[in-house]
């Protein structure tokens, strides 16, 4: 599982090697700690996570040493106050991965309290970069037509990668130009397709998918070359290849961030964007208003006659 987790950090999240190493080291420490408590990551609860962090903060931690357990007293593995959030983030990332792998049905780390800090704004692409990226896809092949439909849909509907991979033909309602998305916690939501996504999705389903399915019976929309449902890893890989070919540094989840940012910048209300993204808490959606504000400030500075002036009139 830890090997799969490392692949997830590198392929989907596209983290730097030092960050990947930190997260893997933290996952190793945490699972060794759980082993000494005769607990697995499948059964761990929020109290187990909190006790782990308490031991780290106190510069003592009980770890597995083969068949035995020992208490380490080493400042090098201590949890400094400045790294509390980073370690907590690592634990959250690990449990999020376990959910994606269906190793767990819940995420106890969501109850983990973190100290307040400035929130990092998500990356997003400009409309021009989105167009460049999507238009660069070679749709003369079956897989290319699939890629165009896949990434058009992710951007047009603000889908998570897992939501796109799990989309079924029975959840596409062409007459109403909407799709039913099954998100986190098996929650369903209805999202408009958008004209471009609808066009490419219809073309893919009519022209490419019947040839890719290879006489297999499946209701999943997006398939790989073996006629099986495309995997998250497959989606990450294809998007990375397309982005590199365009000279754009990005990852596939940026399409979802771009979807939300472009909607709010264009004047969409926060509640509607929250519903389309499938956010339970509107505060999660509100981060995109900060991106929109920055965009508006730049627009004002560039185009308004008073935007470039540094001082008032005497």
Average pLDDT, integer, range 117-122: 61
Average pLDDT, integer, range 195-217: 93
CA nearest 151: which of 241, 54, 252? 252
Q: How confident is the model at residue 308 (pLDDT cuts 50, 70, 90)?
A: low
pLDDT tens-digit readout, 30-84? 998 898 888 999 999 988 888 888 777 765 566 655 556 666 544 444 455 566 7
The CATH number of 127-298, from 1.20.1250.20, 1.10.3720.10, 1.10.443.10, 3.40.50.300, is 1.10.443.10
Model confidence at 233: pLDDT above 60: yes
Average pLDDT, integer, range 277-284: 86
Average pLDDT, integer, range 137-152: 96
Of 88 and 258, the one with more pLDDT = 258
pLDDT tens-digit readout, 4-45? 999 999 888 888 888 899 899 989 989 988 988 889 999 999
Give the rounded percent of residues in the chain with a pLDDT score beyond 70: 81
Q: Where are the domains of the chain?
A: 2-111, 127-298
Contact 42, 103 (CB under 8 A): yes
Give the rounded percent of residues in the chain with a pLDDT score beyond 90: 48
The pLDDT value given to residue 205: 96
The pLDDT value given to residue 266: 85
The pLDDT value given to residue 173: 95
Model confidence at 157: pLDDT above 70: yes
Average pLDDT, integer, range 159-182: 94
The pLDDT value given to residue 118: 52
Average pLDDT, integer, range 276-300: 72
Q: Which residues are catalytic?
A: 160, 184, 253, 256, 279, 288
The pLDDT value given to residue 117: 53
The pLDDT value given to residue 133: 96
pTM to 2 decimals? 0.65
**What rounded mean pLDDT belongs to the chain?**
84
CATH class of 2-111: mainly alpha
């Amino acid at each position: 599982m830890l090997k799969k987790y490392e692949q997830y950090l590198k392929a989907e999240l596209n983290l730097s090697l030092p960050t990947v190493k930190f997260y893997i080291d933290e996952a190793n420490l945490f699972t060794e700690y759980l082993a000494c408590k005769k607990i697995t990551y499948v059964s761990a609860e929020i109290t187990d996570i909190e006790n782990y962090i308490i031991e780290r903060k106190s510069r003592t931690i009980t770890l597995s040493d083969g068949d035995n357990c020992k208490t380490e007293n080493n400042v090098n593995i201590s949890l400094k106050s400045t790294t509390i959030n980073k370690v907590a983030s690592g634990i959250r990332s690990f449990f999020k991965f376990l959910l994606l792998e269906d190793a767990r049905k819940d995420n106890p780390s969501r109850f983990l309290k973190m100290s307040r800090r400035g929130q990092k704004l998500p990356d997003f692409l400009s409309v021009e970069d989105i167009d460049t990226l999507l238009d660069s896809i070679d749709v003369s092949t079956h897989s290319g037509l699939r890629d165009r439909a896949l990434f058009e849909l992710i951007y047009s509907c603000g889908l998570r990668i897992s939501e796109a991979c799990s989309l079924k033909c029975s959840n596409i309602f062409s007459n109403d130009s909407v799709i039913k998305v099954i998100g986190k916690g098996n929650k369903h939501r209805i999202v408009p397709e958008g004209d471009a996504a609808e066009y490419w999705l219809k073309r893919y389903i009519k022209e490419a998918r019947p040839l890719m399915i290879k006489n297999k019976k499946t209701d999943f929309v997006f398939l790989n070359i073996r006629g099986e449902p495309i995997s998250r890893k497959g989606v990450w890989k294809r998007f990375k290849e397309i982005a590199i070919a365009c000279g754009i540094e990005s990852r596939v989840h940026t399409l979802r961030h771009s979807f939300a940012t472009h909607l709010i910048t264009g004047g969409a209300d926060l509640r509607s964007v929250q519903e389309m993204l499938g956010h339970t808490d509107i505060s999660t959606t509100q981060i995109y208003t900060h991106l929109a504000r920055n965009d508006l400030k730049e627009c004002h500075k560039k185009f308004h006659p008073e935007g470039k002036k540094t001082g008032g009139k005497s």
